[in-house]
Structure 1
């Protein structure tokens, strides 16, 4: 709920500079990673730390940032054609003003999140069921399932470490290769990771775990490596789409709040579709998490191709001032 306004505020502060917008969203991704790492240790401590940091950062933002009001205190100015409130009907009505680059950003965002959401839903469950062969419904297998979930949570912490490290170098990558190419390559890496998870699942199903029932060290290590590598594409997902949407929608004069609202629609709608359809889809193929991960791999790969072919590779930087003679 807070990400949309925060990212819109960042886009306003960067003043439509693509480079500054990418840097701001990269640091936003970095601090999300730090929060995930701190939250892995102790839930109660994480909540307390969250309250303290939220209070401090909110106070600093309110006191130090000069955000000029849109209207005067005495009389409201008449609404202009380009600075209207993003009510629901205006949100959908603004679609007719979109250019092809904006549509491409929204399409790639939707495909990316169709890929991410099965992983977000089933990451630790996959580790508990497919790797540790546990089940929360069967009493004898409950402990194995919980061991798998804990190992999956450890993998997500490693994922957050890589997420934070990648966020630091995000701007350099975009300057060297272009934001569209970085986004496309990260989606293809994500698809390969999901395929690797399917391969690990197949190998684990055909292995003899022995009398202890514990999975082999190699299978667990391979699973943790996949979780860790996925931190890099996640960093791209948390930064580049927001930066590209902010710069492109701002050029249309529609405002940053509307830009984040539209981008959130391209994220939320795929999440609703995946959350409602993943269960029946998995049951259609006999249960397990593999069918959803096949869909995730396919959507990620297609999204990567669309990003590479349909999004500009321009190495956008700060605009240079030209002098007239």
Structure 2
């Protein structure tokens, strides 16, 4: 899902009529949701007393939100058309609104899902450093496989033939391929989530009641308060990481768009560009 989002959604939102420069504002949700959602998801999952476990409710909720979000994104053009968008005009405002709502839900859901997944691995490792190292290695390995499959699926122009109903009056080949990718993604995501949460037993952990004033807001106080005690090497590491992401995000957001425009000379809504 992450690879599909990075590779296909910037060209897609431009096809719906959003100006090229405005696309970056939509992507602000990623850093913002990462800053806010992951600490909160971690805080509440650590203190969750559900009979299903601490992590399962958040992982399942995140997966369901991801599925709902990609449905909104993939069918944004169709929903906008049904709501009254004029397909002869360049900008489809209703479709853009549906897309933006789905996109922000997707970023929030991704962060809501990833944090508890990593915490679940830590719980299963039970403090064993060797197990934790192997768990995180496999986690990163399968993320890499997912990225390869996501980018590969997005590059195949005839994927929509697997699900012919995805191509409509409001949704041409590029859009239909996107919908097909997302529908396949939903099936894989839900199957894997249900299988993993059903088979893997979550270890029992004593949940400590948090009686501090401020509740969930204290997690941010602690995060920023911890900065005062960081050593110089940690500050350097954080600075390098910050600069790395400043450089990495523009590449992630615009590499597909740049290739289509500058390398292949395409333009949005022209057949060569839309075919990838």
**TM, length-normalised to structure 2:** 0.57
Is residue 179–residue 315 contact of structure 1 (8 Å, CA) maintained in 2?
Answer: no
Supply the distance in 2 between the matched residues of 1:212 and 1:274 (Cα, whole angstroms): 31
- Deviation of 1:236 after TM superposition, in Å, equals 2.6
Is residue 56–residue 197 contact of structure 2 (8 Å, CA) maintained in 1?
Answer: yes
In structure 1, the residue matched to 2:117 is 241
The correspondence of residues 63-142 of structure 1 with structure 2, limited to 5 A, is 115-129=1-15, 131-132=16-17
- 5+ unaligned residues in a row in structure 1: which ranges? 1-114, 133-143, 320-325
Is residue 166–residue 235 contact of structure 1 (8 Å, CA) maintained in 2?
Answer: yes
Of residues 184, 187, 202 in structure 1, which corresponds to 2:78?
202
In structure 1, the residue matched to 2:227 is none
The correspondence of residues 139-218 of structure 1 with structure 2, limited to 5 A, is 147=19, 149-174=20-45, 175-176=47-48, 177=50, 178-204=54-80, 208-209=85-86, 213-216=90-93, 218=94
Supply the distance in 2 between the matched residues of 1:159 and 1:236 (Cα, whole angstroms): 12
- Deviation of 1:197 after TM superposition, in Å, equals 1.6
CA RMSD of aligned residues (A): 3.0
SS for the counterpart of 1:213 is coil
Supply the distance in 2 between the matched residues of 1:255 and 1:210 (Cα, whole angstroms): 55
**TM, length-normalised to structure 1:** 0.50
In structure 2, the residue matched to 1:295 is 184
Supply the distance in 2 between the matched residues of 1:265 and 1:210 (Cα, whole angstroms): 42
The verdict on how the C-alpha distance between 1:157 and 1:238 changes in structure 2, with shifts beyond 3 A counting, is: same
Supply the distance in 2 between the matched residues of 1:201 and 1:316 (Cα, whole angstroms): 46
Supply the distance in 2 between the matched residues of 1:153 and 1:315 (Cα, whole angstroms): 43
Supply the distance in 2 between the matched residues of 1:164 and 1:317 (Cα, whole angstroms): 27
- Deviation of 1:264 after TM superposition, in Å, equals 1.1
Higher RCO, 1 or 2 (CA under 8 Å, sep at least 6)?
Answer: 1
Superposed CA offset, 1:190-223 (max 9, x none): 001111122312234565437762222x332222
Counting matched residue pairs gives 189
In structure 1, the residue matched to 2:230 is none
- Deviation of 1:273 after TM superposition, in Å, equals 2.1
Superposed CA offset, 1:72-121 (max 9, x none): xxxxxxxxxxxxxxxxxxxxxxxxxxxxxxxxxxxxxxxxxxx3321232
Is residue 127–residue 151 contact of structure 1 (8 Å, CA) maintained in 2?
Answer: no
Supply the distance in 2 between the matched residues of 1:170 and 1:211 (Cα, whole angstroms): 43
Is residue 124–residue 203 contact of structure 2 (8 Å, CA) maintained in 1?
Answer: no
Is residue 58–residue 113 contact of structure 2 (8 Å, CA) maintained in 1?
Answer: no
Supply the distance in 2 between the matched residues of 1:311 and 1:181 (Cα, whole angstroms): 14
In structure 2, the residue matched to 1:275 is 151
- 5+ unaligned residues in a row in structure 2: which ranges? 162-172, 209-276
In structure 1, the residue matched to 2:134 is 258
